[in-house]
Amino acid sequence: MSPFYRCLLVLGLAGLPLAASQNADTTPENTSSVQDLVELVVTLVKQSGSLTISQKSIVSRLNTKLNSVSMPAVEAAQQKDQALVNYHASVVAGCDSSMSQQSLAFGKMARTIATLKAQHELCESDRAALLAERHTASSEFIAWLDAEGDMTPSNAVPQDESAVEAWVERALFWYKSFNATYTEFKMNETRADVEAKLSVANCTGELTGYTESYCSWAGTIGVVTSTYTTCRSGALSLYDATLASVKASAVERQTEWAGLQRSQCLLNALVLDDSGVSGELDACEAASSDTSGMIITEPELAGYSQTLVAKLGTPSDSGIACS
């Protein structure tokens, strides 16, 4: 089978009229690439010096296939690989985005915990003051009782009947005064005691709330940091492997693209008037190719963010023992 007839079989153009010298072998061999076919046509032209009208029609069909199938296929492969690299880069960026959201949430949690700690410290300060007030009230009550003990009226009833009425009057006045003062001291002591006990209970509750929140926050910081580290490590590993693979493919595509551009130039030359074909073909042979569109663009990736990790907060309350 002649090389030119192989072109026709690949293009499905075997029914077109050919020059009488073409071999009519009908065995299909559809394995040659467009570039191989173009080279065969160029060889025929260089051998014969020109193409017939029918052969130029075939060249036109071959040119159409190059522009509508072969070159778009290479461009699509390039775009697909670029999209794949961009996707894996977005996964890496997603780790940072997720960590950024976590940092905002944990920053808010840290501020809440700081507020709880301040409230607890204020409660402890108030509790200390109330306990001191209770101690003072109790001490004053005891001191008054001791002092009043020395002033208690005699229980001995006067023998002189005329003095009994005055004795009773003095005793009643003292007991009334004592009872009023006693009641006041007792109420103050009881109030101070109740307030102190309530303060102890409130502070204990606040301490529990603060401790639980603090320990939950402190424990989760390690988990979030580890998750962020693992996320970036895994995503970067896939990104690097993907980038290496598509870059290798891009190098092959650059060679393929250069060949397709050369074939495109040759096919365009083949449809010229016979007088200009030879020079145009030589020009195509010498022309350089533009393969800049077949280069994989590497997305800019942010590094591991210690700033985001720091925004989670640092547990530093040595007074809290978290299990």
pLDDT computed for residue 12 by the predictor:
40
- The Cα–Cα gap between 285 and 46 comes to 13
* DSSP letter (8 states) at residue 158: P
Provide the pLDDT for residue 48. 67
Return the closest-CA partner of residue 61 out of 116, 7, 129, 1: 7
Cα separation, 166 vs 179, in Å, equals: 20
pLDDT at 108: 86
- The per-residue pLDDT for 91 is 94
Task: Give the orientation angle of helix 274-286 with respect to helix 34-48, to 10 degrees.
Answer: 130
pLDDT at 49: 67
Residue-level pLDDT at 209:
81
pLDDT value at residue 285: 80
Q: Which residues contact 319 (CB under 8 A, 6 or more apart)?
A: none
Place of tokens 């693979």: 245
Low-confidence ranges of the chain (pLDDT < 50): 2-32
Instruction: Specify the pLDDT at position 293.
Output: 93
* Total-model pTM: 0.64
What is the pLDDT, as a whole number, of residue 98?
Answer: 93
